[in-house]
Copies of this chain bind each other. A is one copy, B any other.
């Protein structure tokens, strides 16, 4: 009964007071996960959790706390911070992530030219996370291309999620999280491939600017995601 096991799982969303983090929290709470919103400022996290509980009409488990507390309490830890806070946040929670599944949503945008791809020396934000967290943490990356706009309502998101990560098993776990959030996930290979997915966000920002759209995304064609 693997579908029931998710009821036991708790997800931390570090930096979860931002729009992307709140959107994912909303969708996972709807799907029955226990969601711990983390922030450097626990009062902010509590406010975000309260907002989400109201939106969910109390029918869910969402609470707010510091990033460290959220990481400690959860089996799955998701990071949704601006790139400028990436390294510091990882360092601050590093010792609580051993043996856990870590999902990086960070896109290493370099203002002001956010539509030009600029990767960190490690190759990508996700590879940088792996370097900081070490081999004891299963690092995956996902959701970098999803516009937050449609996560907080229940509308269909016309953007697939490309999941990269250190192992096939970890990627399969994250694809389950993607599906729980009502999105379509694809195994996009090893963590080295995260450069494509992170960089695609800059391409999509550029397309929004050039073609006057607000939430350009991508869909994989010619393959069937439900074959596994």
Question: Which residues of A pack against B, CB within 8 Å?
Answer: 115-119, 147, 158-159, 162, 186-190, 192-193, 195-197, 199-200, 202-204, 206-208, 210-225, 227-228
Contacts and interface: CB of A to CB of B under 8 A. Distances in A.
Number of copies: 2
A189 B222 contact: no
A217 B218 CA distance: 10
Given A115-B189, A189-B202, A192-B116, A213 B207 contact: no
A227 B219 CA distance: 20
A188 B207 contact: yes
Contacts of A197: 203
Contacts of A159: 221-222
Nearest to A208: B223
A147 B227 CA distance: 21
Nearest to A210: B187
A207 B221 contact: no
A206 B221 contact: no
**Best-surrounded residue of A187, A189, A216, A225 (most CB of chain B within 10 A):** A189
Contact of A221 (B115, B119, B218, B222): B218
A147 to B, nearest CB: 8
Nearest to A149: B222
A199 to B, nearest CB: 4
Contacts of A190: 116
Nearest to A189: B206
